[in-house]
Structure 1
Amino acid sequence: MKKSIGAKTFAMPTPVWVVGTYGENGEPNIMTAAWGSICCSAPPCVAVSLQKIRASYDNILKHKAFTISIPSRKYVSEADYAGIASGKDTDKFTVAGLTPVKSDLVDAPYVQEFPLILECRLLHTIELGLHTQFIGEIVDVKADEAVLGDNGLPVLGKVDPLSYSPPEREYYGTGENLGKAYSLGLKLKK
């Protein structure tokens, strides 16, 4: 029997994404966001939801761009810090020992040390309540060569991304490979 626990943000897991933006004076800024996902395949888009009090909120509106840097397990402390400190009064790149890289395609920086980067141009802004959802068109994906498979595309186990569990307020690494998508379920098809 299932027990009702009320309306909560308990989708599990949520990604750990580090959103890159430029501030009012062109300073690079990052913040960790867990409310994000792929939201369209053509054009390729992501959605990330931020509160208006965040420095990144105004930065995205001003520059019409953002990046998503996906940290690997070895950068869990740096990713957590980027979500704790405020970009309004802190140079998070310097404190975390991370390197900002200026995107050639959008007006936003990304994190050099993180293995997978999505460069996004702002398409839509949707007011939802406490959060505003920013939908960005992915104009390019950059990946460290070490995380690419034989087909030239990123491999989850090599990227080794983080997940966040909202009810526990805990980070997790990736798990074991369970099998091929669009194949495992075929045994149930009649």
Structure 2
Amino acid sequence: MKKSLGPNTLAQPAPVWAVGSYDEEGKPNAMIAAWGGICGSDPACLTVSVRPSRHTYKGILKHKAFTVSVSSAPLAAEADFLGMASGGNVDKFAVTGLTPVKAEFVDAPYIEEFPLVIECELKETVDLNVHVMFVGEIKDVKCDEDKLADGKYPDPEKVLPLIFSPGTRSYHTVGEKVGRGFDLGKKFLKKG
């Protein structure tokens, strides 16, 4: 029997994405956002939701760009700190030892040490009351070469992306491959 948990943000899992932007003075900043995901494929787009009170918010609006740096499990403490401190009060890169790198295709920084990076141009904003959802058109994806499968796609077992469980407020990573998409379900095609 399933127990009702009411209307809540308990979708599993949530990403641990470091949203990078230059602030209004041009200083590199990054914050952790768990409210985000892919939202379109032509053009390729993703979303991240940010509260207007966050330091990152004004930087994204000013520069019309942001990056998403996907943290790996070994850098969980650094990623967690990015969500605990405000870039308006502290230089998060100096404190954590992480390295900001100017993105190639958009006016925003990414985090060198995080293995997967997505460069986004701000396409649209949607006011969701407490948060504003930024829709970013993906201009480029970069991945550490040693984290690729077949030399062309990020391999989750190598990237070890950090994921978040909102209810328990705990970090996890992905497990083993279960099977191939659009292959496992073929056994039901004959029945349908």
Q: Which TM-score band (shorter chain)? A: over 0.9
Q: Which residue of 2 aligns with 1:29?
A: 29
| Distance in 1 (alpha carbons) for counterparts of 2:34 and 2:120 | 17
Q: Which residue in 1 is equivalent to 2:74? A: 74
How far 1:97 sits from its partner (Å)?
Answer: 0.6
Structure 2 equivalent of residue 15 of structure 1 = 15
> 2:165 matched to which residue of 1?
165
Using structure 2 for the length normalisation, give the TM-score. 0.97
Report SS of the residue matched to 1:130.
coil
Aligned equivalents of 1:162 and 1:18: distance in 2?
A: 11
Q: Distance in 2 between matches of 1:170 and 1:154?
A: 24
Instruction: Report the Cα offset of residue 151 of structure 1.
Output: 4.3
Alignment of 1:145 with 2:145, yes or no, is: yes
Which secondary structure state, in structure 2, belongs to the residue aligned with residue 184 of structure 1? Answer: coil
Tell me the equivalent position of 1:111.
111
- Alpha-carbon distance in structure 2 between the residues aligned to 1:66 and 1:132: 14
State the 1:23 CA deviation: 0.9
What is the RMSD computed on CA atoms of the aligned residues?
A: 0.8
Contact 2:116 2:143 in 1 (8 A): yes
> Which has the higher mean CA deviation after the structures are superposed, 22-31 or 1-10?
1-10
1:54 corresponds to: 54
SS in structure 2 of the partner of residue 38 of structure 1? strand
Structure 1 segments unaligned to the other structure (5+ residues): none
Q: Distance in 1 between matches of 2:3 and 2:71?
A: 35
Give the match's secondary structure for 1:37.
strand
SS at match of 1:188: helix
Cα distance in structure 2, aligned partners of 1:62 and 1:17: 20
Letter in 2 for 1:77: A
2:174: which partner in 1? 174
- How far apart are 1:104 and its partner, in Å? 2.2
Distance in structure 2 (CA, Å) of the matches to 1:5 and 1:109: 38
Give the letter for the 2:110 counterpart. Y
Distance between the aligned counterparts of 1:151 and 1:66, measured in 2? 26
